[in-house]
Amino acid sequence: MAKKADPIPKHYHSLSPILVLRDAAEALTFYEKAFDAKVLFRHDRPDGKLMHAALKIGDSVFMLGEECAPHEGHENCVRSPQELGGTTVNLYLYTKDVDKAYRQAIDAGAEDMMAVEDMFWGDRMGMVKDPYGYVWSIATHTEELSDKEMQQRMQEFMAQHTS
């Protein structure tokens, strides 16, 4: 008889993203190199492509799998950023050393989108796009700000960057 399961599996939080990719097995290797992801499990399809895997970065789990297409006999398919020509998802990754993590991602093959800099909300952050089309904001939290301080900084930032 199967053991009673916890409603939220071990290592998971209430919300866990699933990245749909073309060349998911290759992407898994990239995430290991770029973000020190640890593979919790992986299941391959009979054709050798990665069907589903779970990876952990820090204390957070995300999943990934190979994209499918309706012509493969699947009606409810989610397309990859490569198929769509971009993504609407930005993954925000906190790390102890943003400069090191950003450089590691670039060295692993990510594309520079925004160099690391201090942000008005109290994070030091940079952005990269992985080779599979997902955008990652990599950050280290550097300052605790009150809502009032953050509002003031946001107004100053907006005044400098809009005309």
Token digits of residue 20: 């749909």
Contacts of 116 (CB under 8 A, 6+ apart): 98, 99, 102, 124, 125, 126, 138
- Residue 148: predicted pLDDT: 96
Q: Tell me the residue length of the chain.
A: 163
- Residue 6: predicted pLDDT: 86
Longest Cα–Cα distance in the chain: 67
Task: Write the CATH number of the domain with boundaries 18-68+79-161.
Answer: 3.10.180.10
User: In which order are the strands placed within the sheet that holds 50-57?
Assistant: 18-21, 60-66, 50-57, 38-44
- Residue 161: predicted pLDDT: 86
Query: Which residue ranges make up each domain of the chain?
Result: 18-68+79-161
pLDDT in tens, the chain (163 residues): 778 888 888 888 889 999 999 999 999 999 999 999 999 999 998 988 899 999 999 999 999 999 886 556 666 778 899 988 999 999 999 999 999 999 999 999 999 999 999 999 999 999 999 999 999 999 999 999 999 999 999 999 999 988 6
- Residue 11: predicted pLDDT: 82
Listed residue (135, 132, 137, 40) closest to 79, CA to CA: 132
Measured CA to CA, the distance from residue 26 to residue 60 in angstroms comes to 21
Contacts of 78 (CB under 8 A, 6+ apart): 20, 67
Asked whether the beta carbons of 53 and 39 are under 8 A apart, the reply is yes
Measured CA to CA, the distance from residue 65 to residue 21 in angstroms comes to 6
Listed residue (148, 100, 96) closest to 123, CA to CA: 96
Asked whether the beta carbons of 145 and 122 are under 8 A apart, the reply is yes
- Residue 23: predicted pLDDT: 93
User: What pTM value is reported for the model?
Assistant: 0.89
